[in-house]
Each structure stands twice: as structure tokens, then as C-alpha cells.
Structure 1
Amino acid sequence: MRGSDFADARAFVSVAEQGSFARAAGTLAVSPSALSQTIRGFEERLGVRLFNRTTRSTHLTDAGARLLLRMQPLLAEFDAALEEASGNRKPSGTLRVCAPQMAIIHLLQPMLGIFQEQYPDVVLDLTSDESLGDIVARGFDAGIRLGEHVDQDMVAVRVGPDLRQIAIASPDYLQKHGVPQSPQDLHEHRCINWRRTGQTSVYNWEFARDGQWFDLSVKGTLIVNDCAVALQAALDGLGITVWTEDWMKPQLESGRLVPLLRDWSPPFPGFFLYHPSRTRMPSALRAFIDVVKSVSMGADAAGPVLPSELLPSVQREPALAGSKVGA
């Protein structure tokens, strides 16, 4: 095989696995136009079309599917040989990860010192990001989100325990305005709403009873796009808001905040680290995943799963229809 054939085969497999020239180009660190020319030249040399392309989608032809079936194990074996040959070398290089602010504070910060001590040659480039953009197109190696937001063509690894989102308010507010006994009572209260950056609609609060989930649109005089601001507003007695229970234990234990409607707020699956499907996972990313899981989940850490196998069953829960606050 000529060197150009090998590089072109690698490019072909990347496009086929990610289903997108743009995503594959981000992974390969080339421009989409250059990658398109590479694949076109590869097709011309083979004398067969490998992809059916439209402006909106990229699909393998029958010939492309047959070639992928043969090439994937070959490249995987090649990558495994390289990994084995460099087995004595510690992970190194730059690892770019994006995550919501609350995931960074509560999930990643406890493990940063451990990761740096164990892997001093890895530069961790961590970005706080509340958007739901394409991590590959933006040059990230991995991202962290709630499972409901992970694209189906990504590989997802659960890295956090179950979470519970509850309504909360200050004692002063409840003394003046009363305690809601059901979610419907919130219509009679001042609620502090949250909206994700870049979105126009506010988050609908989510509740469940007897296994039945429902969304509730609440009204108030304050809308924020920063969860910490919403929490402080609740502490200041400005109204009722929702927040993840584990993230405000000091305020609850001290009595500065009062939990509300807990019987209507069952737990839901927590955070997943996700990354593009690859024939070879970078050693720095593998090390990062292992440390995050060991610190956040301990013995309950779960292995990697494809979203197509796991996440639809998670998404069928109506509780995951919205975007949890801070996630």
C-alpha cells in the first residue's frame, strides 16, 4: 500500500465513522474542503464511489460499506500495535475538554490535582461552556453533558452519580408567601427562572409523581442565565428556584434554604463524558476518563457505552426532556 493510500484510508474511515466531513476534518486537523478532495482522489484511484453526498448528509455506498468493514479491523490492529510499542510512554500532549460550569466545579475540580500528579505531561485545556454545540467542529477532544444532550454518533461514558433537582426557597420568603404543597401551587408564587445562554425560551421545571413526569412553565419577575445567580437570588428571598440538591448541601443543612416538593423530584442519571467514535482513543483521554470515574463514582464507575445502545432508553424518560439547571 502506498503511503497516500494509507492516509486516504484513514481519512475514509474517519468520515465513515463520524458521518460528517466537517467532524472528521476537525478530528484529522484538516479543512473540510481538503478532506473532501482527499476522499474524491481516493475514490478516483479505486474507481468506485464510496459516499453519497448531499448538502445535508453523507452516507456510505454499498462499496463504501464493504470497504469500511474490511478497513476498520486493519486500522484498529495497526493502532493497537502502535499503542503496544509505546506502552512504556506516559500520556502526554494537550487534551481539550468542555463542560458546564457546575460539572467543572462539582465533578472535575475534585480530580484535577490527582490527574496532574499522575499525568504531569498532559496539558488539560478545560473550557466552561453551557452551549450544546458540536465539540468536534470546535476542536474539543471530549465534552461533558447530561445523557439526554449527547449526540447519537458519540461514545458516552457515565462519569457521575444520579442527581436530584429540587425546588428551594429561603425561610423568609416562605414565611411571607407560604409553602407550596404541589407543583401547581407554584403558579401562585414568584419563581426565579433560568435560560441557557443562546436560547430564547426559559427552562420548564420538571416534576414526577407515581412514575409520571411532566413539565411546568412557571412565572416570575426574574430570569437569569447563570445558575449561581439564581441560587443567590433564592438565598436573598426573591423567590423559588430549582437547583441540584447535592450542590447546595451547606445551604440546606444550615437552614438558609428550605427544600420543597421533594416527593415530586426523583433522581435522574447524571453526567456523561462523550467523545467521537475512533479506532484509537488517545491515551491522554483514556487516562482522564479513568481518573474522573474513579474520583466521582468509585466502585460504581461504569464502562464506555455507545449512545445508540444506552441513551435512547434514558431519553425515553420524560424527566429528561428539558435541560436541567446548570447542566
Structure 2
Amino acid sequence: MQEDYNELFWFTVVARERSFTRAAALLGVSQSTISNAIKRLEERLGLRLLIRTTRSVAATEVGEKFLSAIQPRLDDINADIADLMRYRDRPVGTVRINLSDYALESVVWPKLRGVLQDYPDLKVELFCDNGISDIVEERFDAGIRLGERLDKDMIAVKIGQDWRLVVVGSPGYFRKNPAPSTPQDLSSHTCINTRQHSAGGLYAWEFEKDDKQVRVRVDGQLTINHPGSMIDAALLGYGLAYLPESLVAGHIDRGELTQVLDDWCPMFEGYYLYYPNRRQNNPALSLIVDALRSRV
């Protein structure tokens, strides 16, 4: 029995997305075309692969087994095709990268924006996620995270310098509240929290001094996951914020924000771009890696 590659591939996308609508949008194919193709596949196999309702689509038990059987083979085919693409003169295709807001703004975009103009056939999707995602499961070509958070069994390339978070507040805030002298003092202060997307909990502020490490859970009126909005809130006196030093250095120099607990704020290992072994021969990804590679 000879199978249609498109039908097999479209089935994996529908099963993964659990939606014909989302699958059609990702593939650039009409819903009716995908639906009819999968019906033909089911008829040819004599198996029901998907359960369709008015609200959702889900793989049947045999559909899950079928997905597990064909997905690795399709991945191998895609990897082989990507390997052949290196013989072309110019990198083409789409590279999907999962990264944080700060990594995008501070490291990736400044290095990448000049490169893309020279490669019009290359597309890059930068998906901002401040959690820790499984790039293989979510079908990203690469991820960018701090060195201490790297996934195992990945190729990792350092792309940024070491950096640190600093505690800042507005002069108006400190006119009403004494500056903290130790991390524990933060428990009596109003702070601007950040929620960790992957873990679901609030980020515990990390400090270190003389080899002593301290994690403090702070409290306040606001919880914000966007650095720019956190800076605005701190400037307006809504509380203390724990932010990358490079983002607030200008505000500190101009006296718009005051830095505290400086001797408790540790350095963090810089950002790394990481990706699975099977992606290492992808010419488009290789171009991105070379553009982002830290030369410090």
C-alpha cells in the first residue's frame, strides 16, 4: 500500500494541534483539503484515526499509536531533506526559536537584524516564552536560555555575556520606605512580582554574598511578566523590581531609579542557543547560530 506523504504529514499536524483550523493555518492549506485527505487515509487504512466533534479533534487510541509510529520516520525524512538543502547556494526555510523577552531584546535581535536582510529566502520565527519549554515536543528548531537552564543532550552555543539582575525602586518609593539592607528586608516591602510560566509559581528572587545563597519570595500589588512594563511600574512607585541591569542602567544614571542591595546581586551565566543533534546540518539554523555566536 503506497501512502501519500502529505496525508501522513497533515495527520500529524492535526493530531498535534487538535484542530483542523489551527492545522490549516500552520500549513497554508484549506480545512476541507486537509479533512478530505485524512478521510482518504482512514478509508485506505480501514482505521479511524481521529475523533471529530463540533469543538475539538482528538486522536483515537489507534490514532495515537499510528502517530507514534510515523512521527519519527517523518522527522527523519525532514532531517534528510534539510541536510540536502545545504547544497543550495542560499539558506532557505523557516527557523523557529523559543526564547525569553530579555534574550530577544538584549542579545538576539541586535545581532540578527542585519543578517536577515542578506537572506530574503530565510524566515525566522521568534517565539517569546519566559518559561522553560520543551523545544523538541513543541517543534522548535532551537531554544535560547541561560546556561544553568539548558536541556540535556543538546548542542549548546554561547551567544551572550554574563549578566545580573538588580533591585531598583523610584526615589518617591524610598521617600516613604527605608532602603533594604539585606534580602530578608524585602519581606516588608512592596515588590513587583514575576510569574514563572512553566512552573506556574511566582519567581523567588535569588541573591548571593560571600558564598551564601538566599531566595526570597516577595509580595506586592502587581505581578508582571514583561520587563518594560515592570520598569514603568517601578518608575511610578508601585514597588521594588528585580530586573536585568542593562535595562535599568540609564534610569539609574538619570536618578529616575535607585539601586539597592548591590552587593547581594549575583552574576548569571549568559545566554546559550541550544538545539537537538539532528538539527546540526540544517544550513538555515547554522547561519543563525553563526550570527548569534558570542565573540566576547
In the superposition, the TM-score normalised over structure 1's length comes to: 0.63
Q: How many residues get paired? A: 231
Task: State the one-letter code of the partner of 2:195.
Answer: R
1:137 aligned residue: 137
Residues 1:32 and 1:98: Cα distance change in structure 2 (over 3 Å)? farther
2:230 aligned residue: 230
Runs of at least 5 residues in structure 1 that lack an aligned partner in the other structure: 1-21, 23-30, 42-77, 301-327
* Alignment partners' CA distance in 2, 1:192 and 1:253: 21
Q: Please state how far the C-alpha of 1:122 moved relative to its aligned partner.
A: 0.9
Q: Please state how far the C-alpha of 1:124 moved relative to its aligned partner.
A: 1.1
Please tell me whether residue 101 in structure 1 is matched to residue 101 in structure 2: yes
Q: Deviations over 1:112-154 (max 9, x none)?
A: 3221133332111222222322212222111111223221122
Q: Which moved more, 1:100-109 or 1:164-173?
A: 100-109
* Alignment partners' CA distance in 2, 1:243 and 1:155: 28
Please tell me whether residue 205 in structure 1 is matched to residue 205 in structure 2: yes
Q: Where do 1:170-181 residues align within 5 Å? A: 170-181=170-181
Runs of at least 5 residues in structure 2 that lack an aligned partner in the other structure: 1-15, 17-62, 74-79
Tell me the SS of whatever aligns to 2:193. strand
Residues 1:39 and 1:224: Cα distance change in structure 2 (over 3 Å)? closer
* Alignment partners' CA distance in 1, 2:150 and 2:99: 12
Residues 1:211 and 1:112: Cα distance change in structure 2 (over 3 Å)? same
Tell me the SS of whatever aligns to 1:168. strand
Residues 1:32 and 1:102: Cα distance change in structure 2 (over 3 Å)? farther
Q: Please state how far the C-alpha of 1:238 moved relative to its aligned partner.
A: 1.3
Please tell me whether residue 186 in structure 1 is matched to residue 180 in structure 2: no
Please tell me whether residue 243 in structure 1 is matched to residue 243 in structure 2: yes
Residues 1:38 and 1:172: Cα distance change in structure 2 (over 3 Å)? closer
Tell me the SS of whatever aligns to 1:123. strand
Q: Please state how far the C-alpha of 1:82 moved relative to its aligned partner.
A: 5.5
Residues 1:157 and 1:39: Cα distance change in structure 2 (over 3 Å)? closer
Q: Provide the alpha-carbon RMSD of the alignment.
A: 3.0
1:253 aligned residue: 253
Residues 1:271 and 1:265: Cα distance change in structure 2 (over 3 Å)? same
* Alignment partners' CA distance in 1, 2:143 and 2:136: 9
* Alignment partners' CA distance in 1, 2:256 and 2:250: 9
Residues 1:280 and 1:133: Cα distance change in structure 2 (over 3 Å)? closer
Please tell me whether residue 148 in structure 1 is matched to residue 168 in structure 2: no
1:72 aligned residue: none
Q: Deviations over 1:5-43 (max 9, x none)?
A: xxxxxxxxxxxxxxxxx9xxxxxxxx97457546999xx
Aligned-pair identity (%): 35
- Asked if the contact 2:142/2:276 (under 8 Å) is kept, the reply is yes
Tell me the SS of whatever aligns to 2:174. helix
Q: Please state how far the C-alpha of 1:282 moved relative to its aligned partner.
A: 0.4
- Asked if the contact 1:194/1:227 (under 8 Å) is kept, the reply is no
In the superposition, the TM-score normalised over structure 2's length comes to: 0.69
